[in-house]
Structure 1
Amino acid sequence: MSSSASSPLAKTDSHSYAQRNAAYWRRNLAICVFGSFTTLVSLTLLLPFLPIYVEQLGVHDKAAIVVWSGIAFGATFLGTGLTAPLWGYLSDRYGRRPMLIRAAVGMALLMPLIGLAHNVWQLVLLRLAAGLIGGYASSATVLVATQTPREQAGWALGILSTGSLSGGLIGPLIGGLLPGLIGIRQTFFLGGGVIALAALVTIVFVREDFQAAPASARRAEPVRLGSALWLVVAPMFATAMLVLFSNMSIEPIITVYLAEIGVGRSQVVLFAGIVMAASALGSLLMAARLGRLADRIGGGKVIIYCLLAAGGLLIPQAFVTQWWQLVGLRFLMGMALAGLLPSIAKVIRLSVPEKALGKVLGYAQSSQYAGQVLGPLLGGALGGTSGMRSVFFLTSALLLAGAGLNYLLMNKARAALHPLQ
């Protein structure tokens, strides 16, 4: 069935908001791509020098530096995951544009403060606050998913993904260069300035025709998803978690894995960086294309195909003998994973009533960050106890099981509703 088909529960509300904003969505998409890019650059540029900054803040034991660096980096994503449903709920009530402005302004203020930290506790708390208050990419997803015409939603969300993916890819490269030129603290100040520019552009140019629900409607019983819709929404949450889990379960062990297959100590860090970048590059190249495919054949089908492809590509990664083989396989896996997040957002957009759409997309964002937290924990624990190859096998099994779960539950949903994709 055509991808423009939708749940009868969602049709009227979704069309009314999208039609009211038909004149704005393309410009808003471009601004959201720019804003997502700049915020992700600023969040990830500290990766190369974070251990050095932690040491400058008074931590000198090598093991403690590693631990505090991990805590400081993960704190932002933990904060974003905790508050994404709240911001999604508020976007349903007050509009999508205010949430974008809140995230951009909050990040612009907090980034320079991170550069003014005097001890590691302040660093962690400020990074956590950046996640709690920020979340520009999450808010941008809600705005783009709801404003874009449904027949182009997959493509638009894929384009939006390229902004975040590009930021995550380029941020560490910039972070490796700037501290040597202007200093670590000044790098945070510059990052805050770039986000401030994104905030200004968002304030001036993002437009939205949002009609708040009347007070009587807000006091009415809240929207509840029926059992049939939960058959669609629940696997979307699980799949969103799998996307980040499947990537983050592997990346923490890549350096050790390369050493196991014979890469020398002098080259292992460089090659590990290339392997990690290969996955991001593959996703960057394919996100928009797979989003367009979701518009043509349906988001549900793209999700199943991408999970099968990614799960299958993990198996040969456990048997590589050369580092360049892992680069090629991670590149292909990044291409497969690229279609998942845009398709998940598209499926949710087509199936959930508009008045609850922001909140549900917020929970999907939280699921992603749960995968980002759980992936390294399980990957590191399993790799340390059962060997590096076991991580590839387990992650593959989870992705393949996710494909089967999506297939079964979507078939059940079609029995209760018209096809959603």
Structure 2
Amino acid sequence: MRQAFHNLEPWKRNLYMLFAAQLLSVAGFSLIFPFLPLYVKKLGVATVGSVEFWSGMVFSAQGLTMGIAAPIWGAVADRIGRKLMVERALFGGAILLALMGLARSAEELTLLRALQGMITGVMAAGSALVAASTPRSKSGWSLGLMQTAAWAGTAVGPLLGGVLADTVGFRTTFQVTAGLLLLSGVSVHLWVTEAQDTLESDKALRLRSLFQSWQNALAAEGMRALYTVKFAVRLAATVMLPIAPLLVAALMPASGRVATVAGIFTAASAAASTFSAMGFGSLGDRIGHRRVLIMGCVLSGFGYLLFLGVTSIWQLIALAIVTGIANGAIIPSIGALLANGSPAGEQGTVYGIDASVNASARVFAPLIGTAVAAAVSLQAGFAVAGVIFLIAAGLAIARLPRLAVPARRDAHSAAD
């Protein structure tokens, strides 16, 4: 079996190793989500501000710094190597997560989370490396596989993290997370290779400034429109995160297992996305990723509007599965469109900007969701997400070029 692995084409070998690394790293990062606010409460505040304030800062700080740093790391990857950026994200994340387990106050934890946003970014770095080395005719399937790893990690991580926190404590769980990231980094270092022809060969491109690289990426056909659609999609997908546990609590007020059911809600959606992502990625390779993206946005839009009529927990979980399946069509399609529209040699820059767009949406979305829930109702927060998804579908129809995904075979795929 080991010989069979080594006999694989280099792009396939990289893909499978990066799939495993992404699965482990996302599961590791997701381990801490269920108890992070509880950890803040346990640490306490050393200066000023409430526990609630610092609980919010712990999440927002990471998104804010990632939004600033991700485009820079992406452009650097195109110059010195994308594999090195994956290793930087994994090893840096391992060190920071281990230090979080040693934090003495909410302020120290927030600082470490801010540094995490600046240093990590595994998904963007891994996607850039996959996009640069994978044949374009296989981009949808390959990036769908990477997204499958991310959703699988998101589904497993919170459930495992809650159990670990209750069993061995918060601090030990951080060390377990650091260990998973370290294992992923070692695997990438040993078994992932980056061909020189995936790096910039033109010295003029290497000397180009970061600003010129960003301008070049944004000037590519349909790229600005695609980033606009991606921002809308991530905004919609993140709007309901802070209110979902509250809706679970409202639907089952007499139960003492709200956290468990909230975890099931998240896991059900992520699992549905996991199983649908690869199928939709392959479908996009055949019929066009723009078409699959529009279909996913429309399905998600109407799916989230149905939350207005939710009256039981089983309806909530059923709709989580439906919208999760639709999400499995959206993210791989956007990833493939980014890969196919990237200027030659600048995949790192393109995915770095993409990570910044994701982080920006995470900063604003919770504020929108909680404001709508407070002013109208919890279900209305989900309905707002549905409206945003439908807006994203309209933007994709109106602004994305129909030929954004070339259905062609290139030099990489000649041996397929």
Whether TM exceeds 0.5 here: the answer is: yes
Tell me how large the CA RMSD over aligned residues is: 2.5
Cα distance change of structure 1 residues 220 and 195 upon mapping to structure 2, 3 Å threshold: closer
What's the counterpart of residue 333 of structure 1? Answer: 323
What's the counterpart of residue 3 of structure 2? Answer: none
What's the counterpart of residue 132 of structure 2? Answer: 146
Whether the 8 Å CA contact 1:244–1:372 is kept in 2: the answer is yes
Tell me how far apart the structure 1 counterparts of residues 340 and 352 of structure 2 sit (CA, whole Å). 15
How far is the alpha carbon of 1:155 from its aligned partner?
0.8
Provide the identity percentage.
32
| Worse-matched range after superposition: 87-96 or 261-270 | 261-270
Q: How does 1:410-421 map to 2 (within 5 A)?
A: 410=400, 413-414=401-402, 420=406
**Is the partner of 1:321 in helix, strand or coil?**
coil
How far is the alpha carbon of 1:241 from its aligned partner?
2.0
Measured against aligned partners, the alpha-carbon deviations of 1:349-387 in whole angstroms (never above 9, x if no partner) come to: 212312333212211121122222222110101110122
Tell me how far apart the structure 2 counterparts of residues 419 and 108 of structure 1 sit (CA, whole Å). 36
Task: Choose the corresponding residue for 2:201, options 196, 213, 218.
Answer: 213
How far is the alpha carbon of 1:237 from its aligned partner?
1.0
Give, as a single letter, the amino acid of the residue that structure 2 aligns with 1:104: L
Cα distance change of structure 1 residues 103 and 261 upon mapping to structure 2, 3 Å threshold: closer
Tell me how far apart the structure 2 counterparts of residues 418 and 119 of structure 1 sit (CA, whole Å). 49
**Is the partner of 2:65 in helix, strand or coil?**
helix
Task: Verify: 1:357 aligned to 2:343, yes or no.
Answer: no
Cα distance change of structure 1 residues 289 and 384 upon mapping to structure 2, 3 Å threshold: same
Task: Verify: 1:284 aligned to 2:270, yes or no.
Answer: no
Task: Verify: 1:114 aligned to 2:100, yes or no.
Answer: yes
How far is the alpha carbon of 1:59 from its aligned partner?
3.9
Cα distance change of structure 1 residues 308 and 365 upon mapping to structure 2, 3 Å threshold: same
Whether the 8 Å CA contact 1:236–1:364 is kept in 2: the answer is no
Q: How does 1:27-38 map to 2 (within 5 A)?
A: 27-38=13-24
Measured against aligned partners, the alpha-carbon deviations of 1:138-194 in whole angstroms (never above 9, x if no partner) come to: 100111112111111111111111111122221122222223443322222222122
How far is the alpha carbon of 1:265 from its aligned partner?
4.6
- What are structure 1's unaligned runs of at least 5 residues? 1-21
Task: Verify: 1:305 aligned to 2:295, yes or no.
Answer: yes
Tell me how far apart the structure 1 counterparts of residues 218 and 235 of structure 2 sit (CA, whole Å). 27
Measured against aligned partners, the alpha-carbon deviations of 1:238-280 in whole angstroms (never above 9, x if no partner) come to: 2222333222212322233344456435344333332222211
Task: Verify: 1:124 aligned to 2:110, yes or no.
Answer: yes
Cα distance change of structure 1 residues 54 and 301 upon mapping to structure 2, 3 Å threshold: same
Cα distance change of structure 1 residues 187 and 354 upon mapping to structure 2, 3 Å threshold: same
What's the counterpart of residue 411 of structure 2? Answer: none
Count of aligned residue pairs for this structure pair: 394
What's the counterpart of residue 309 of structure 2? Answer: 319
What's the counterpart of residue 257 of structure 1? Answer: 247
**Is the partner of 1:339 in helix, strand or coil?**
helix
Give, as a single letter, the amino acid of the residue that structure 1 aligns with 2:85: M
Tell me how far apart the structure 1 counterparts of residues 150 and 404 of structure 2 sit (CA, whole Å). 33
Q: How does 1:12-411 map to 2 (within 5 A)?
A: 23-59=9-45, 64-210=50-196, 211-219=199-207, 222=212, 224-225=215-216, 229-230=220-221, 232-261=222-251, 263-410=253-400
**Is the partner of 1:354 in helix, strand or coil?**
coil
Whether the 8 Å CA contact 1:165–1:280 is kept in 2: the answer is yes
Give, as a single letter, the amino acid of the residue that structure 2 aligns with 1:58: G
Give, as a single letter, the amino acid of the residue that structure 2 aligns with 1:213: S
Tell me how far apart the structure 1 counterparts of residues 346 and 218 of structure 2 sit (CA, whole Å). 15
Give, as a single letter, the amino acid of the residue that structure 2 aligns with 1:100: V
